[in-house]
Structure 1
């Protein structure tokens, strides 16, 4: 059966930098003027690295990270970003070293914990990953808890813990009901549990959000097939053919492989 690709964790770009406040300044909010020139240069390099990373120019992004760390060797966000780049390049050991360095420098940053948790989950260490997702969620300043909750749900499914997965996905839905990944994962979970009415509810939200990938449409077709709604099934199958006629999902539909 098709699997859904989760939304990967975001990179922290604009958090406060790391020098300690001077005497008498504890009652003030930190601003950009508190940064040294080196820290400002490092942050500019990081932003360039993120841009190259998003364009999939990974070697160039790595070079910008190197320059950021030359300017500020204790720049935790640069280590986290470098870890994500190495992760995408398949450099597992280098990725882990950089995730751990980011966490040594800033152990309570929720994005770092979420990103490292996802790394662990992707490398067969699902049980360990949950510890880091939970650490991210304990930080009440975390602006996007649905990401960690969604990732924790996916990793729970990898451990065949459907009860935990349902709990995490449901909490993610409460935090961000419009998130297509969360809705798709809930639809897939309930389909596997043979709760087809619930599965229809969540996959319908994905389709209304115009997320019409092959795996989404194929799951929607299978749900309607199980519910016996041939009109809805045929309509969705037509969309699957028009949008993804050469996909494995449409080939499965043509074979009638509804239970594969």
Structure 2
């Protein structure tokens, strides 16, 4: 196995992430206070529980536990939830607008782990528009985050419904892939990560590719993992996860010089401070030993 040795200089630096699946996503597009005002006007009802004025941007799950982490309001590289269904004229109906607003409000509650409030908002989204795919996707996320056996089992139907309503809704493919990984179906997860990772223009495409590479490693498909992480670096040179995983793959296959090139690039990305990351320290030790033996 050979990995292309054309390692360009990195374009940007980012903090190291600890080998996580990119999280399940929920992405409202407006600040919560603005959503409350808009909802009050369009829906004609008082909405309680205003939380924060920041927009919610990401929601993805970890490689080990697959539980959803708390979203960061500004740092995760994701954008907004998109409406899947529009009226024939191309504009959203009042029902679709209501469903979108309810889903966005539910995302904020989910961010703050107010799961009951989030569930109530999603039920109102279903009542407003029973064909609004993002609401089903988010209900799957909510049930998975709650984590009980019954809710984890029920989450799958919501992910499948979201995909059935809108097969081009890539966020649902990625989220369903994370769910499948959590419940021990990595091969099925790979297929959904492939779909999301190949969708040019999808804001979470790189995250889906990371998930694909990590899952490929989990099932022992090192060639797929290698090809995938090379694709990640081709699109996002400063990606920490791809660097770390490819370094291990190269070391294991005794491609020492290529591993060194990537490792040195990784140190630059981390501002020469690898000591915070035991795995990176271990990689440096292994490379030193291999160089001494050669």
Deviation at 1:158, TM superposition (A): 1.0
Deviation at 1:198, TM superposition (A): 4.3
Count of residues paired in the alignment:
217
Q: Call closer, same or farther: CA 1:198–1:53 in 2, change over 3 Å.
A: farther
**Does the CA contact (< 8 Å) of 2:84 and 2:166 recur in 1?**
no
Q: Is residue 20 of structure 2 the alignment partner of residue 5 of structure 1? A: yes
In structure 2, distance between residues paired with 1:174 and 1:36: 40
Q: Is residue 64 of structure 2 the alignment partner of residue 64 of structure 1? A: no
- The unaligned stretches of length 5 or more in structure 2 are 1-17, 28-79, 290-294
TM-score by length of 2: 0.64
Identify the residue that residue 116 of structure 1 maps to in structure 2: 176
Deviation at 1:171, TM superposition (A): 0.7
> Per the alignment, in what secondary structure is the counterpart of residue 115 of structure 1?
helix
TM-score by length of 1: 0.71
Q: Call closer, same or farther: CA 1:66–1:138 in 2, change over 3 Å.
A: same
Identify the residue that residue 144 of structure 1 maps to in structure 2: 204
**Does the CA contact (< 8 Å) of 2:96 and 2:128 recur in 1?**
yes
> Per the alignment, in what secondary structure is the counterpart of residue 155 of structure 2?
helix
Q: Call closer, same or farther: CA 1:194–1:81 in 2, change over 3 Å.
A: farther
Identify the residue that residue 46 of structure 1 maps to in structure 2: 103
Which 4+ residue blocks in structure 1 deviate beyond 3 angstroms?
9-14, 137-141, 187-216
**Does the CA contact (< 8 Å) of 1:203 and 1:216 recur in 2?**
no
Identify the residue that residue 93 of structure 1 maps to in structure 2: 153
By relative contact order (CA 8 Å, sep 6+), the higher-ranking structure is: 2
Give the number of the structure whose residues are more often helix, by fraction: 1
Q: Call closer, same or farther: CA 1:10–1:187 in 2, change over 3 Å.
A: farther
Q: Call closer, same or farther: CA 1:89–1:215 in 2, change over 3 Å.
A: farther
What are the residue-to-residue correspondences of 1:181-192 with 2, within 5 Å? Answer: 181-192=241-252
Deviation at 1:20, TM superposition (A): 3.5
Q: Call closer, same or farther: CA 1:9–1:192 in 2, change over 3 Å.
A: farther
Cα deviations across residues 73-114 of structure 1 (Å, max 9, x unaligned)? 111001101111211222321110110010111112222112
Q: Call closer, same or farther: CA 1:124–1:203 in 2, change over 3 Å.
A: farther
Deviation at 1:204, TM superposition (A): 5.3
Q: Call closer, same or farther: CA 1:141–1:121 in 2, change over 3 Å.
A: same
> Per the alignment, in what secondary structure is the counterpart of residue 277 of structure 2?
helix
In structure 2, distance between residues paired with 1:129 and 1:146: 16
